[in-house]
Structure 1
Amino acid sequence: MTDIKNIGRFCSTNDNGYIINDSNLEKVKPEFYKVIEEVVENYQKHLGSDLHSVYVRGSVPRGLGIYGVSDLDTIAITNRETNDIDMKWVDKAENDLNRKYDCIKGVEFSFYSIEDMIETINFSIIPFMIKTHSVCVYGEDIRGKLPNYKADKTLGNQHLVNLKNQIRQAKEDVVGNDDKEDILDCCVWIMKIIVRAGLALVIEKERKYTRDLYPAYEIFSTYYPEKESEMKQAVKYAINPTENGNAIIVFLDDMGTWMINEADKWLQVHNPQKVSNMKM
């Protein structure tokens, strides 16, 4: 079992308040080199000329990767629409790499078209992640073509506007599910969403952002001390997920319902049109 540690940091910003990307190839620890190489090889082999570029995001390119604990989250930018590309090979490739390498908890392949990435009229989380939390490991780096981002209500909205549906989906995925690995994956997914949503509730006051769970939990707890223990439990579940579906449901019925209500209040202030549409 992995202990909860005070690991992580808030994103640095420049003089104009824009988030600075602190990812760098030089920060990647040597134990992750080989698996990154094989990920790129898989993308090249299966996508061929459809592959535009590959990015690694998250803790690993920031030098915060923990052996055997961190995931290797990767993004492939494609030259064609992803619906037109054969993805049948992905599950096997991920499973093979997960079995082969102990240094990572899991490998994730994901795919987005270049056209979708450079369409920046509306906020989208993947261009944001590429711009602020990723490093290019293959191909042409598009980060210079993407807009700058601030820790503001636009970013907060992204974490709160779909929270109700995400919690509902998690409950549906857990109820009656006998697949322990599926339940564990769902637990990690929804608990990370809840912790980051907690930060989003105070983002307009703090003007700070992080994907890291511990600092998000800490800053949430300064504003909502009465919910500190529940948010700490969410961090624990994200790091050490439970296969007990009933325990997840109980938590989501309690803390999840509270978070939904707080998200609705936040959206009423910062995105009232979206709340109105959700209630129609």
Structure 2
Amino acid sequence: MRSIKNIGRFCKNDHNGFIINDASLDKIDTRFFELIEKVIDTYRHQMGTDLHSVYIRGSIPRGLGIPEVSDLDTLCVTNKALKDLDLDWVNNAEQKLNKDSSCINGVEMSFFNLDDICNTKRFSIIPFMIKTHSVCVYGEDLRNQLPAFKADAALANEHIINLESNFVQAKEDLRGNEDKEDILDCCVWIMKIIIRAGLALVMEKEKQYTRDLYPAYEAFSRYYPEKKEKMLQALEYAINPIENTDELIFYLNDMGKWMIETSEEWLLLHNPHKERNGDLKRND
């Protein structure tokens, strides 16, 4: 069982308050290089001319990757619309990459269309992730074409607006589920959402952003000390997921009620007329 440690950090801001991307090729541990090359080769072989670029995001390009513990999260930008692509090969490719490498916990391959990435009329989490948390490892680097982002209401809104739907989906996925790995994946997924939503509730006061769980937990706890233990439990579940679906659903009903009520108050204050509809696919 992994112990909870004070690791991770807030993103740095520039003098105008915009988030600085601290990911770089130089920070990637050399032990991950061979796997990254295999991932790039897989994208190139399967995508051909439909492949625009590939990015690595998360802890590894920030120099925080832990061999055998960290995931290798990749973003593939495509020239063709996703509906016109055949992606039936992805699951088998991920399984093969995971089997062939012991240096990571798992490989995630995700796909986003170039036109959608470059359409920045409204806030979208993927352009944000490319701009602030990713490094380009193949193809044309889009980061300089994307706008700068701040730790503000627009960013907080992205982590709050679908929170209730996320809780509903998580409980639906857990009830009656006998697939151990799927239960563990769901546990990690929803707990990360809860912790990051907790940070989002206080983001405008903090004026800081992080995807790292411990500093997000600490920031939330400063403003909601009465919920500190409950958020600590979410952190424990995220680091050491459990198979007990009854225990997880009980927690989601308990902490979820408060989180949903508090997020609804936040949403009414910041965007009372906005409809909440989003992609509820599990991802990091």
User: Once superposed, which parts of structure 1, at least 4 consecutive aligned residues long, lie more than 2 Å away?
Assistant: none
Give the TM-score normalised by structure 2: 0.96
Can you list the C-alpha shifts for 1:172-208, whole angstroms capped at 9, x where unaligned?
0000111110110000100000000000000111111
User: Matched residues in 2 for 1:47 and 1:31: separation?
Assistant: 26
Letter in 2 for 1:51: L
Within 5 Å, which residues of 2 pair with 1:186-197? 186-197=186-197
Paired residues in the alignment total 276
Aligned to 1:175: 175
What does 1:35-114 align with in structure 2 at a 5 Å threshold? Answer: 35-114=35-114
SS at match of 2:55: strand
Which residue in 1 is equivalent to 2:279? none
Deviation at 1:31, TM superposition (A): 1.2
Which deviates the most, 69-78 or 92-101?
Answer: 92-101
Give the partner amino acid of 2:103.
C
The one-letter code sitting in structure 2 at the alignment partner of 1:61 is P
- Aligned equivalents of 2:19, 2:75: Cα separation in 1: 20
Q: Give me the whole-angstrom Cα distance separating, in 2, the residues matched to 1:82 and 1:41.
A: 20
Spell out, residue by residue over 1:51-97, the C-alpha distance to the aligned partner (whole angstroms, 9 max, x if none): 00000000000000111111111000011001111111100111111
Which position in structure 1 is the counterpart of 2:206?
A: 206
Partner of 1:250: 250
TM-fit CA distance, 1:98 = 1.4
Q: Percent same amino acid at aligned positions? A: 61
Tell me the CA shift for residue 270 of structure 1: 1.1
Q: Distance in 1 between matches of 2:120 and 2:3?
A: 39
Unaligned 5+ runs, structure 2 = 277-284
Map 1:128-147 onto structure 2 (within 5 A): 128-147=128-147
Post-superposition CA distance 1:201-253 (Å, at most 9, x none): 00111111000000000010011111111111111111111111111101100
Unaligned runs of 5+ in 1: none
CA drift of 1:269 comes to: 1.1
Cα-Cα RMSD: 0.8
The whole-number CA distance in structure 1 between the counterparts of 2:141 and 2:47 is: 18
Aligned to 1:271: 271
